[in-house]
Amino acid sequence: MSLLVVGLSHRSAPVSVLERAALTVDAQAKLLQDTLAAEPAAEAAVLATCNRIELYADVDKFHAGVAELSTLLAQHSGVGLEELTPYLYVHYEDRAVHHLFSVACGLDSMVVGEGQILGQIKDALARSQELHTAGRLLNDLFQQALRVGKRAHSETGIDRAGQSLVTFGLEQLAGREPVETWAKGKRALVIGAGSMSSLAAATLARAGVHEVVVANRTLDRAHRLAEILAEGGTGTVARAVPMDQVAAELTRADVAVSCTGATGLVLTAEAVAAGVADRTGTPAVVGAPRASGGASTATPAPRASAEVPADPDEACPLGLSGDGTVGRGVGFSVMGEEAVAGMDAATLEQHAAWVDNAPAERRDDPQREADTITALAAAVTATGRVPENRRRPSIVETGNVLLALLDLAMPRDIDGAVHRIDGVRLVDIESLAEASADAPMADDVERVRAIVSDEVAAFGAAQRAAHITPTVVALRTMAADVVANEIARLDGRLPGLPEKERAEITQTVRRVVDKLLHAPTVRVKQLASEPGGAGYADALRTLFDLDPQTVAAVSRADKVNEPTEQNATQTDPNRGRA
């Protein structure tokens, strides 16, 4: 086994990089095909979710495999190799198996213990099977990962340690209220009709929303989802609308969830602002858009001029002083509750202009301000975002949320600038990552880790044992040929030998050969299953002078006779994005 995985996830890369590196279904297929065409790889599979992109391959050379897989990921993700490399992780052989099994159990998820990753692993296996890029190793690996994940959920309380991303996102929107209390009587707009959107719609219906409106580019799929919701017995009204009616529905919705496969923004800041403005009767102001997450169409705030407003604090885009001495005492904070979307370089320039033009009595230390701005601009360049702590109180705390938005797509569906609109609350993948970082882990997590360790050892032993099986089969085939040749020779020397005696002699010779081979073949399988046991197959071939082509022929025949993997393509409630 020479299993190699190269990838990046929410644990190794900022969301801005994951967002840019996201792969469409077509891009995943092309990546698989190109990986198989590469010299070091014999099999390939891609596990792509909203918070991870991993390329698995069976390679014959480690260093060449790492270089090739990294280059292919960069090419197909559109992120330059030099920029992508610092965020990549590499796992090889048993460590790669341990990683996938941990992922399947939800130990590596943004929300620990969530079960939707099982559906994504199943999808990844089905895709590689459909494209014929998965051979024995990856079929065995992904099938076993699914079994390990199911075992972890059935034998432990890992489900109590985490929830689906949908549930966790709704809890963040609900703030201090139970989701059922927060959702009761609300109107919900769900954009998209895929697995994650369907789960969000069903969760909202069970939570007690009054109405769910489903918008999708394929209206038939939206209608099917709406019918399922209406027949679910929750009492929720459900209906479907085409995508061109999203803006109109936004003026009525209390909460909107979006999870589509779009490569651009589905909800712009202007659309959200218009929805809030139509509801309140007053214009909604959109602040400066963020740089990451695609080009925003939001109108940027005008640059500060030499003319200072009556209250200069109101013109300051961002309080930068860490000790709270600037403006009204709310300084820069990387962990502020409102750190949902970050400042871009243009906004930092606006603040610099404000510092230059503000009255002397309003300034703290201009040089320190300039140094801070320089440092934050460097952070923007490196990470794509600078979180902020806004001046006004949290709208969750004040209860003035007019529109709650949950963006579960990668790349993002909703413009990050909407969090600057009064009355709008946005929760996206980035803020979920921040919120889940400190989430408590159940004691069952340790039990799951023990399960993973045991299963990795068992899988490695089985693979190593399977590696020597063709050699053992070839040895026994050779022995059978020797017996057959000797019996034929006996027939030539004793043509009149009665059939009964001939059969007895044949059986005796076969028993002798079997007894001579039994202990060595059983023992060599045991030794081969242990770490470092790969060399026993080579030793067996050398000792008995086995033809390598014969061993290879046994391996090929074994693969042809493998049972078709049906489990990977069956419908499963866990299938979907995470």
Active site residues: 50
Could you tell me whether strands 89-92 and 3-9 are parallel, antiparallel, or unpaired per DSSP bridges? antiparallel
User: Distance between CA atoms of 129 and 358, rounded to whole angstroms?
Assistant: 64
Residue type, 572: D
C-beta separation of 196 from 221 below 8 A: no
C-beta separation of 417 from 288 below 8 A: yes
Q: Which of 506, 376, 463 is nearest to 1 (CA)?
A: 463
41-49: strand order across its sheet: 41-49, 52-59, 3-9, 89-92
Q: Which of 266, 578, 269 is nearest to 433 (CA)?
A: 578
DSSP for 307-328? S--SSHHHH-S----TTS-STT
Residue type, 349: E
Residue type, 58: D
Q: Which two tokens stand for residue 329?
A: 């005492």
Q: Cα–chain-centroid distance for residue 134?
A: 19
Phi, psi for 317 (deg, rounded to 5): -65, -30
Q: What is the rounded (10 degree) CA torsion for 419, 424, 425, 428?
A: -60
In three-state secondary structure terms, 62 is: helix
C-beta separation of 387 from 337 below 8 A: no
Residue type, 176: R
User: Distance between CA atoms of 568 and 578, rounded to whole angstroms?
Assistant: 18
Q: Which residue has the tokens 């904070």?
A: 333
Q: What is the rounded (10 degree) CA torsion for 464, 470, 474, 479?
A: 60
Could you tell me whether strands 52-59 and 41-49 are parallel, antiparallel, or unpaired per DSSP bridges? antiparallel
User: Distance between CA atoms of 410 and 485, rounded to whole angstroms?
Assistant: 66
User: Distance between CA atoms of 433 and 436, rounded to whole angstroms?
Assistant: 5
The rounded radius of gyration (Å) of the Cα atoms in the chain is 31
Cα dist from 3 to 46, 59, 308, 351, 562, whole Å: 13, 6, 63, 51, 20
User: Distance between CA atoms of 139 and 96, rounded to whole angstroms?
Assistant: 14
